[in-house]
Amino acid sequence: MLDRFRDCGLRVGLENLDLHKHGGVTIDEVVACLDEHDAPLIFDVQHAYEHDPSMEYARELVDRVSEVEHLHVSGERTFEDGSVNRHALVKHADNREAILGFIEELYADGFNRPMVIEGRYESVADVCEEAALLRAAAAGERRREKEPAE
């Protein structure tokens, strides 16, 4: 199937899946699928969080794959009525610290791939604020803010 896309000149990547799928969710399954199809990973940070809120799953998955094309970045937000938005902007997400902390660590280790803002937004200002927040995390600015002054 993927060869048909490649025959059209398209570069194809595969995304790690969320917990609601019935396969392709364990690290071994994801790595095997990527290897079988010779495809890079489209790394969905929120999907990784759903597997393991400590983000160890995310760290191990990135370490195990040979290539990450880019990140899909969003967070999770639970509303008063109990409904959950699993594509919330990180700035509004309940799991904001876990997502931003992971991004910070990843880029501090030399990762340099683009991020796609996947969260639902209301305005261009929302996108600009989200982009600034993610850029700051990738640049380690949050970590520097937490360091004690000398």
Predicted local distance difference test score (pLDDT) of residue 37: 87
CA distance 52 to 49: 5
Could you read off the pLDDT of 82-101 as tens digits, one per residue? 999 999 999 999 999 999 99
Q: Which domains does the chain have, with CATH numbers?
A: 2-146 (3.20.20.150)
Whole-model pTM? 0.88
Closest CA to 67 of 29, 112, 3, 19: 112
142 or 27, which is more confident: 27
